[in-house]
Amino acid sequence: MEATPSRPWTMQQIADAAGVSVTTVSHAISGKRPVSAETASRIRRLIDEFGYAPNSGAVRLQSGRSQVIGLAVPDIAHPYFGRIAKGVEEAADSADYGLIVASTVNADPRREKRYFNMLRTRAIDGLVYTSSRSTSEVDELARQARSGAPLVLADESVPGLALPSVTTTVAEGAREAAEHLRALGHSRVAVVAGYSGLHSTEERAVAFREVLPHALTLYGDYEQESGYRIMSDLLANEVPFTAVFAHNDDMAVGAMRRLREAGLRVPEDVSIVGFDDFDVARIVTPELTTVRKDLVEVGRRAARLLLDRLATGEAGGTEVVPTELVVRGSTGPART
C-alpha cells in the first residue's frame, strides 16, 4: 500500500493551469479584490477539479492565526466536560474554527503547560479553560491573563482573576433547592457538597444556608462513592435529618443507594435533591429532583466570548447561564 498521500496541489499549480498569477487565485478565493467573473469561475472550476485546499501552515504563517481554539478539560470522557466540549465545538465549528482538546488530568506538569504552550506557538488562537483546583495552574492562568492572552473561563470562575468567564447561577439554584425543601417542611437537611476548594462549591453551600441556616455541610469529591460514604457517616453517627441536598447527581445517587441499603425510603423517609440533571437523574427510582445546568450552553457561550474577542480584540465580560429546579419524585413532605 502506498504510504503517504500524494503531494497536495499548490496555489501556484492552480494559477498555472488557469493561466493567471497566484495573486489572482488568492483573491479569487478570498474575494478581497475584484476578479473578472470569467477568470473567477475558471479558477473555481480548477479548484474543484484538482481538489485544491490552501495549505494551513502557509496561511497560518502568513496571517499569524491558526483558526483553531483550544479547550482544556480535566477529563474529556466525563459527561460533565463532554457537554461543555460539545458546546464549544459547536460554536467553534460555526465560526469555522477547529477545536483542539487538551486534557489536564492528574496535574501532570508536562500536560499542564501544554495548552499554554500551544498559545505561545500560535498553534491555537485562544483557549477555553475549565478550572481545576491546582494552584500552580491558577498562577500560570494569572500570568497568561496579565499578558493579554485570549482566555475564557468556562463554568468555573476563579476569584481574584479578572478573566472573561461563563458561569451558571449555582447560588440561585441552591437557594431554590433549599426553598423547595423548606416549603415541604424540611428543616434538618444534610448537604453533600463538592470539592471544598472550588468557588462554585462554596457559592452553593453559602446560598443554601441563607435559606436553611442549620444545614449540616459535608464535603465530598463529586464522585458517586463520596455521596455513599458521607451518607454512611451520617447514618453511623445517627445524625437526624429528613432531607439531603447533593452538589451533583452522582453524589445524590450514591447517597440514595446508601439510604436504601439502610432500609430508608425516598422520599417517604428522606427527600433528596441533586444538581446538574444528568442522565442518571432519570434512571434512578424514584427519579431525582435536581437543579438543571445547561453545560452545552456554557460551552457555547464561552467559545463565542473567545471568538468575539479574537474578532474584535475586545475582551468580553462575564456571562451567566440560568439554572432551573426540576422537581421529580425524590422529594416529598418532611416526615413528622
Partner DNA sequence: CTGTTAGCGCTTTCAG
Partner DNA sequence: CTGAAAGCGCTAACAG
Q: Which parts of this chain interact with DNA (CB under 7 A)?
A: 7, 10-12, 19-24, 26-27, 29-30, 32-37, 39-40, 54-55, 58-59, 61-64
C-beta of residue 325 within 8 angstroms of C-beta of residue 177: yes
Site for its own copies in 132-151 (CB under 8 A): 147-150
User: In the set 33, 45, 120, 265, which binds its own copies (CB under 8 A)?
Assistant: 120
Which helix (H) or strand (E) element contains residue 46?
Answer: helix 37-50
Report the partner that residue 26 touches, choosing among DNA, its own copies, none (CB closer than 5 to 8 A by kind).
DNA
Nearest one of 228, 206, 331 to 273, comparing CA atoms: 331
Closer residue to DNA (CB): 18 or 321: 18
Closer residue to DNA (CB): 10 or 232: 10
How is residue 330 written as a grid cell?
Answer: 425524590
Give 271: exposed, middle or buried? Use CB within 10 Å, 0-12, 13-18, 19+: buried
Residue 107 interacting with its own copies (CB under 8 A): no
Nearest one of 139, 120, 160, 131 to 71, comparing CA atoms: 131
Closer residue to its own copies (CB): 144 or 217: 144
In degrees, rounded to 5, the angle at the alpha carbon of residue 220 between the alpha carbons of residues 217 and 221 is 145
Which helix (H) or strand (E) element contains residue 26?
Answer: helix 22-30
**Where does 41-104 show beta strands of DSSP type E?**
68-73, 98-103
Report the partner that residue 159 touches, choosing among its own copies, DNA, none (CB closer than 5 to 8 A by kind).
none
SS (H, E, C) 179-225: HHHHHCCCCCEEEEECCCCCHHHHHHHHHHHHHCCCCEEEECCCCHH
Count of other CB atoms within 10 angstroms of residue 165: 26
State the residue for C-alpha cell 433549599: 178
Report the partner that residue 265 touches, choosing among DNA, its own copies, none (CB closer than 5 to 8 A by kind).
none
Report the partner that residue 35 touches, choosing among its own copies, DNA, none (CB closer than 5 to 8 A by kind).
DNA
Closer residue to DNA (CB): 22 or 264: 22
State how far the Cα of 125 lies from the Cα of 49, in Å rounded to an integer: 32
Report the partner that residue 2 touches, choosing among DNA, its own copies, none (CB closer than 5 to 8 A by kind).
its own copies
Nearest one of 84, 89, 73, 82 to 167, comparing CA atoms: 84
Closer residue to its own copies (CB): 66 or 217: 66
Report the partner that residue 93 touches, choosing among its own copies, DNA, none (CB closer than 5 to 8 A by kind).
its own copies
Backbone dihedral angles phi then psi of residue 287, each to the nearest 5 degrees: -65, 150
Least Å from the CB of residue 66 to its own copies: 7
Closer residue to its own copies (CB): 19 or 313: 313
Residue 159 interacting with its own copies (CB under 8 A): no
How is residue 169 written as a grid cell?
Answer: 447561577
Residue 247 interacting with its own copies (CB under 8 A): no
Site for its own copies in 260-299 (CB under 8 A): 260, 279-280, 283-285, 296
* Per-residue binding letters, 38-67, with its own copies (x by CB under 8 A): -------------x-xxxxxxxxxx-x-x-
Give residues with Cβ within 8 angstroms of 161, minimum separation 6: 138, 141, 142, 145, 153
Residues near its own copies (CB under 8 A)? 1-6, 8, 51, 53-62, 64, 66, 68, 75-79, 82-83, 85-86, 89-90, 93, 98-103, 111, 114, 117-123, 147-150, 224, 253, 260, 279-280, 283-285, 296, 309, 313-315
